[in-house]
Amino acid sequence: MSILVTGGAGFVGSHLIERLARRGGAVGGDGSIVCLDNFNDYY
C-alpha cells in the first residue's frame, strides 16, 4: 500500500506520518509514504 500525504510539514500531516510510520505496515515491503508540501511558488 502506498500513501500520499499532502501538507506533511504541518501539525496534522507530521503527526499522521509519524503514526503511519510507527504502525509499520505502510513502511517497508511494497508500501511507501510520500510527503508533499509547499506547492506554492509565491512564498
> What is the per-residue pLDDT for 20?
82
* Residue-level pLDDT at 22: 84
pLDDT at 26: 52
**Dist CA 33 CA 3 (whole Å):** 5
Instruction: List pLDDT tens digits, range 1-43.
Output: 777 888 877 888 888 888 888 886 554 455 677 777 777 776 5
Report whether 4 contacts 36 (CB < 8 A).
yes
**Which helix (H) or strand (E) segment is 35 a member of?**
strand 32-36
Residue 36: predicted pLDDT: 75
